[in-house]
């Protein structure tokens, strides 16, 4: 059974300021891998809105929104075929569907790339999970966000770390306004792009 039928396919938005260099860094935002975590989805929209409102921007934003449409529609963590999307990322040579292929084609484009995978969990504080030294090195850019090392087989950020892509899993919580987290993440992503 295909993971995504045409009518519930996730969207891939390419958002870039006019005049941005063709080889500008890319911030890839993935949301909605877990259909029962809609705050992650909202965080992606807020990033896109912040991009539109910013006067200048040094990076291109790629939003893979609603990665698991069936799960979102049913408020379930899993996909229609029963798998946990964030437990089966194998890397560019082990893609399971078109979405994975499209994500990896951006990650392997040869440009600087930062991947942010948006989720939500219970608890009072939002968190950034990283999987290794590449992710850990991002900590100074997201200073007010607690960083936690949480390697997990098959998760997207782990697959990124394994293939040389800087990546974080961002976990929103209902214990703190999403707008605050969105500002922290936006600032971190902007500083990453400026770091060059």
Size of the site for Zn ion (CB under 5 A): 3
Site string for Zn ion, 85-124 (x = CB under 5 A): ----------------------------------x-----
Q: What angle do CA 31, 34, 36 make, to 5 degrees?
A: 110
- Min dist CB 120 to Zn ion, Å, is 7
Cβ–Cβ < 8 Å for 116, 170: yes
Is 58 one of the binding residues for Zn ion (CB under 5 A)? no
Burial class (CB in 10 A: 0-12, 13-18, 19+), 143: exposed
Query: Could you tell me the smallest distance in angstroms from the CB atom of residue 84 to Zn ion?
Result: 9
The residues that bridge with 30 in the sheet, in sequence order, are 64, 117
Q: Of 34 and 62, which has the nearer Cβ to Zn ion?
A: 34
Q: Are 41 and 68 in contact (CB under 8 A)?
A: no
Residues from 24 through 53 that contact Zn ion (CB under 5 A): 34, 37
The closest residue (CB) to Zn ion is 119
């Amino acid at each position: 059974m295909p993971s995504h039928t045409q009518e519930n396919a996730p969207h891939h938005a390419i958002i870039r300021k006019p005049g941005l260099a063709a080889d500008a860094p890319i911030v890839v935002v993935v949301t909605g891998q877990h259909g029962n975590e809609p705050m992650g989805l909202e965080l992606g929209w807020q990033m896109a809105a912040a991009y539109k409102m910013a006067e200048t921007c040094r990076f291109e934003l790629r939003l893979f929104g609603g990665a698991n449409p069936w799960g979102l529609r049913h408020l379930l963590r899993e996909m229609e075929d029963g798998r946990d999307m964030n437990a089966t990322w194998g890397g560019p040579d082990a893609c399971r569907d078109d979405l994975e292929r499209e994500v990896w084609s951006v990650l392997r484009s040869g440009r600087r790339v930062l991947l942010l995978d948006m989720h939500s969990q219970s608890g009072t504080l939002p968190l950034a999970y990283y999987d290794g030294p590449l992710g850990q090195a991002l900590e100074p850019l997201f200073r007010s966000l607690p960083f936690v090392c949480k390697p997990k087989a098959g998760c997207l950020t782990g697959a990124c770390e394994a293939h040389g892509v800087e990546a974080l899993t961002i976990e929103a919580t209902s214990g703190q306004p999403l707008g605050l987290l969105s500002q922290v993440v936006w600032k971190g992503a902007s500083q990453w792009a400026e770091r060059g």
